[in-house]
Amino acid sequence: MSQYIFFSGKGGVGKTTMAAATALHHAEHGSKTLIVTTDPASNLADVFEQEIGHQVTQINGVENLYGMEIEPDAATREYKERIIAPFRAFMPKDVIAALEEQFNSPCTTEIASFDRFVDFMNTDEYDVVVFDTAPTGHTIRLLELPVDWSRHIEEAAKGGGHTCIGPVQAIQESKAKYDRATALLKNRDKTSFVFVMRPEELSLYETKRAVNELATIGVEPHEIIINGILPAEVCTIGFFEAKYAAQQKIIEAAKESLFGHKRYMLLRAAEVKGLPSLRSVAGELFGGVTDKADATFVGTGQSIDLPRPDLSALFLPVNGTKRIFFTGKGGVGKTTISCTTALYLARHSYRTLLVTTDPAGHIGEILERPIGPEPTYVVDGLDAVMIDQHQAFIEYRERVLREARGRYSADMLAAMEEELNSPCTQEMAAFEQFTKYIGATEYQAVVFDTAPTGHTLRLLNLPFDYAKQVEMMVSVSPESLKAKTESTERYDKIISILRDPDQSVFCLVLYPEATPIVESYRAKQDLESAGITTQLVVANMILPAEVCTNGFFSNRRRMQQKYLRELPAKFGTPVLTYPLLAKDIKGLDALEKAAKYLG
């Protein structure tokens, strides 16, 4: 019988590295092993240094190891065909066309990717299946889906027999599959959950929150990996002594507040890519074999002096509201940069709103005040709001039903309510909130702290998806024609705002290492395919030369400088460099000091 190992955690904590090293360990100890990534911004191929893609692929040089990157669009095509194919032989073409149109809902992508994911929990082809999941908030959503979809299919079967993912009779088999997945997720003998975190306050906060949320569906962590710990022997000056002490404080707090076995992984002087470095990580992870950090100073290399971008021209509003989007791989400091930019705009006397669309958003932790689903005062000129997907779902559902009452028959209302109970309605509801703030004009500037890259691109593509869906609507009454016209006009407006570089500024946040650079470049290309131009790259966490006084940190700085040299030509945009600070940015005083680096 297969064993299943899930890796979860905040973006950028080293989840993929730990998952890949674990899969390699099991494969090289005789187990036929598959590693599957459910992250739409996966870097699994980068870690193994080979193409993988949306098919099970042998990992070069390892006999028992296979990998797969679930690709949302490919999964959607496969899902549609699997559901519709049985009807083609006996259904008229117009009925098939109607079914295909039903699947054009953007939420089909979510269930299709999830459906492919569950397939690997319904086979004993592999001894070990390792799931490298999307960042925490989206992982929780993924793991709740078996329960939600199984319940929705069951309720739909009692009602009109339709769901937004197809007719009930066509997906009854899916319900059985989802029920089996739910049972496996809760079976501690078969399924292990590993949370990866860094020894940082925000990472600990998110890990505790995720553990508590998963406990509500009967899932408990088996193990916590605390990754990226500074080696004591290289923290010999005040700058790193303070960071080392802060990390040790978080490690002690994790011991007290998080259940499950703990493993401790040291920060490495170089990137982890390729089989040799993964074997080294596996040796430390499973055998406690740790490479001694090199403290011999060998120089920091030539510093790269990049021209400073004109942030005033980019960020400050001129005519109308300016929207500023920050996105990037998890853990690159996107939220901190967003908060700092929002305060920078407010201090320049522009009325500013800070919006987080990240389901694991923690702007409240940085601002040191609770941030909810309604704009909340932070300081003069600055409000903040967090899009709460669950509350947005409740409000969206009630609004749609309220508007429908008195206009449609009881049967039609019942069918509508049944459809609205679908889990994917949550995505539509969050999207409605998102577009509300894009179109808002009561603020002079709106700063968006978005979810990690793959999910941000999904969110930003939704206006285009929904606009296409509206175009395909068949108008059968004056009311539906009016609704179609209003929806088309609204989505056209949102699309034009996103594509207008004078109204919307898209910024990619990264730190200068191969994986976040590759992921950010993919995001740039995806944005371009939607007609959106990236206007700024923020290279964050740059090691100051004066604190790199030994071989460990000088090696890391030389690596950073190498990548910094390549960024302007690769992205074709201005690059803002932002230094690694001695203390984590938390609270308004710290944000005020950090904002000075913006000018």
> CA-CA distance, 356 to 341, in Å (whole number)?
13
Please give the radius of gyration of the chain, using alpha carbons only, rounded to the nearest integer: 25
* C-alpha span between 295 and 423 (Å, rounded): 53
pLDDT tens sequence across 343-392: 999 999 999 999 987 655 578 888 988 898 899 999 999 999 988 777 77
Structure tokens at 450: 């978005």
Structure tokens at 308: 């400073």
pLDDT of 525 > 80? The answer is yes
Residue 312 vs residues 165, 308, 341, 364, 500: alpha-carbon distances, Å: 46, 11, 11, 26, 18
The rounded distance, in Å, linking the Cα atoms of 456 and 295 is 40
- pLDDT tens-digit profile of 125-175? 999 999 887 644 444 555 555 445 445 445 544 554 444 444 444 455 566
Stretch 426-439: mean pLDDT: 78
Least confident of 72-76, 124-128, 318-322: 72-76
What pLDDT is recorded for position 560?
Answer: 93
Summarize pLDDT for 189-219 with one digit per residue, the tens: 888 889 999 998 888 888 888 888 778 777 7
Fold of 311-591: Rossmann fold (3.40.50)
The arithmetic mean of pLDDT across residues 423-437, rounded, is 73
- Is the per-residue pLDDT at 177 higher than 60? yes
Find out whether 112 and 137 touch, Cβ atoms under 8 Å.
no
Query: What is the average pLDDT score of the chain?
Result: 80
Q: How confident is the model at residue 470 (pLDDT cuts 50, 70, 90)?
A: very low
**pTM for the complete prediction?**
0.78
Q: Which neighbouring-strand residues pair with 229?
A: 266
Confidence of residue 78 (pLDDT cuts 50, 70, 90): confident
- Ramachandran area for residue 527 (φ above 0: left; ψ -120 to 50: alpha; else beta): alpha
Please check whether the two domains, 3-287 and 311-591, share a CATH topology: yes
Q: Where are the domains of the chain?
A: 3-287, 311-591
> For 3-287, CATH number?
3.40.50.300
Q: What is the DSSP string of 481-542?
A: HHHHHHHHHHHHHHHHHHH-TTTEEEEEEE-SSHHHHHHHHHHHHHHHHTT--EEEEEEEEE
